[in-house]
Structure 1
Amino acid sequence: MMAKIIKGKGFKGCVNYILDSKKGTTLLEAKDVRLKSKASIIQSFVSQAKLNPNLSRSVGHISLNFSAQDKDKVTNEMMVIVARDYMQKMGIKDTQYIIARHFDKEHPHIHLCFNRIDNKGKTISDKNDRYRSEKICKELTAKYGLYLSPGKEKVKTNRLKDPDKTKYDIYNLLTQLVSKSKSWKQLLYNLNRYGVDSQFKYKGQTDEIQGITFTKNGYSFTGSKVDRMFSYSKIDYHLKQNLFSQDQTQNKSQHQSQTKDIVESTLDALSGIGSMQVHGDDYEEEAFKDRMEYEEEKRKKKRQFRPKF
């Protein structure tokens, strides 16, 4: 199972697309919207979105795509169950939504339209949504016993021709290097060593990075074209996680070293106290002996001067 997340601004376009009768659409489930007509559904979404007018993109649109090999296995009921599970894990809850199935392609798939402004007027976060979605899809694929694609790792690259061969070369390099890199500078340097040039895509005339393109052997591919996991946002997330893990490891090592020093210092101090205590015991023993000898001497003198009758 795979998910495709579509960003949009208008509920009208999204609802009209999802409920397009030309796609053999079947509405499987709806929540908290008026189902009298397309117009009433759209108005329901728009009305709730007004609870937070500051959010420009309140439309949530996701398609869940199942393998053609699961065609006989995936029923409408099962699709709804999987969609609910997916939404729960993605944090899409307590809000309006519709789920519809399309029959315009060979593989089974459904479309989900939801309101990113929930029933209480709060925003449903889309932070790292593509990365989280990919992970959740893998979990649900295993959970429901769906077909698991062998992935790019199983492709026999020696049989490929350009530009596909170059794309898979870049894919393999990114697979190895992203997990080992702690910054963009380190990653781009190592890619360049293997003949891959990289170029960021910026938003308008600003310094905000929107994407990245990799070039090798005269062929260029955006990160998401190489693989969804190598879009700019997902690589950036991985690099930050790698750096965070390194800092955590260093802090743990430093803490253990400091703890070891404290323990050793404490043991040294206790050892010194122990030595002092031993010497103190020796001193007290000597003083006790001197006292006994003094008392014995006093008794002898008394006996010497005792009168005789």
Structure 2
Amino acid sequence: MIGKGKAIAHTKASMEYGWNQEKDAQVVYSQNIAGESPNEITREFKLTQDLNDNCEKNTLSFIISPTIEDGKNLEKKELSRICENFMKEMKLGDRQAIAFVHQNKPHKHIHLYVNRIDFNGKAYNDSFIGKRSQQAAEKVAERMRLTTVKQVQWEKEHNLSAIRTEIKRRHDLTMKQFIPRTFQDYIKGMETNGVKVIPCINKANKLQGFRFEFDKYNLKGSEVHRSMTGGNIGKKLASEKSVSSFLKENTQLKMAGKTVELSTGMLKAIAKEVIKKTISKGMDMGMGF
């Protein structure tokens, strides 16, 4: 479950958004509120807010988002408990509050509005409210046995590790199966093996590297494996060619619907590697004599 929070000044507009019937809005929690419309509730908030003339952003706006799977099983009673527990974790105490659930999309979420000014005219301290909102949501999720952000992150990282391994395996297979000698050959080979290769082109119209799209994931080459940066892929492609031969075939490339050139960094990395291997081959031949 994710929690977000901030202090706002536009109370009425936020209330109207929260109570938006087009989003199948439903009141799931209220405290010290009698009004039955955004205008009425805004006026009730203002009566208390008039006790403090110094606070401009005098309403607290929170969004509490369970995971899609958790949201499917949460009815009004459970959603109300989420709000009640969240209020306690945030130490908001006895003040005006109202919450709406939006359920027009699969991702059910709560909009909670709380008067920042209490009945004594004191303003709630909103320092680090974003971070504290997330921490409060985590504790509420743990207490109610809902999925926490940490659990979602663990699952994502676990899945991501498997995705990286699979993209790298298909990269190695492409290199062995097709023995590409140009970037365009490599891109075609990877697509044949089920991985979409997306060129990263800078404002100077230079190719800097690649992103790899596979199974709804989109990762930079360096995020997959260090051997899959643009420069390292270029080194591999050029390993059996002379510098002039490789550059002739790869300097002007048609990618993403336009002609691009290699970035200076990629050119230097590739040229350095090819020259190093050429020298090494020459030494080996000399030693053979």
TM-score range, shorter chain: 0.5 to 0.7
Q: Which whole-Å CA distance do the structure 2 matches of 1:94 and 1:168 have between them? A: 51
Q: What's 1:165 paired with?
A: 219
Q: Which whole-Å CA distance do the structure 2 matches of 1:106 and 1:97 have between them? A: 25
Q: Which whole-Å CA distance do the structure 1 matches of 2:61 and 2:18 have between them? A: 9
Q: What's 1:112 paired with?
A: 112
Letter in 1 for 2:212: K
Cα root mean square deviation, aligned: 2.5
Q: Which whole-Å CA distance do the structure 1 matches of 2:91 and 2:137 have between them? A: 14
Q: What's 1:82 paired with?
A: 82
Moved over 6 A (4+): none
CA contact (8 A) 1:7 1:57 kept: yes
Q: What's 1:91 paired with?
A: 91
Change (3 A) 1:14 1:168: farther
The alpha carbon displacement at 1:26 in A equals: 0.8
Listed as ranges, the matches of 1:254-273 within 5 Å are none
Letter in 2 for 1:161: F
Q: Which whole-Å CA distance do the structure 2 matches of 1:127 and 1:43 have between them? A: 26
Q: What's 2:8 paired with?
A: 8
Letter in 1 for 2:8: G
Q: What's 1:30 paired with?
A: 30
Q: Which whole-Å CA distance do the structure 2 matches of 1:45 and 1:168 have between them? A: 52
Listed as ranges, the matches of 1:145-184 within 5 Å are 145-148=145-148, 149-151=151-153, 152-154=156-158, 155-156=160-161, 158=164, 159=167, 161=212, 164-166=218-220
CA contact (8 A) 1:11 1:46 kept: no
**Where does the alignment leave 5 or more consecutive residues of structure 2 unmatched?**
168-210, 224-264, 266-289
Q: What's 1:121 paired with?
A: 121
C-alpha distance after superposition, 1:200-233 (max 9, x if no partner): xxxxxxxxxxxxxxxxx9xxxxxxxxxxxxxxxx
Q: Which whole-Å CA distance do the structure 2 matches of 1:150 and 1:112 have between them? A: 23
CA contact (8 A) 2:7 2:126 kept: no
**Where does the alignment leave 5 or more consecutive residues of structure 1 unmatched?**
170-216, 218-309
The alpha carbon displacement at 1:168 in A equals: 9.5
- Name the % identity: 21
Q: Which whole-Å CA distance do the structure 1 matches of 2:89 and 2:44 have between them? A: 25
Letter in 2 for 1:153: E
The alpha carbon displacement at 1:164 in A equals: 5.0
CA contact (8 A) 2:117 2:123 kept: yes
Which protein has the bigger strand share? Answer: 2
Change (3 A) 1:164 1:47: farther
Q: Which whole-Å CA distance do the structure 1 matches of 2:147 and 2:105 have between them? A: 17
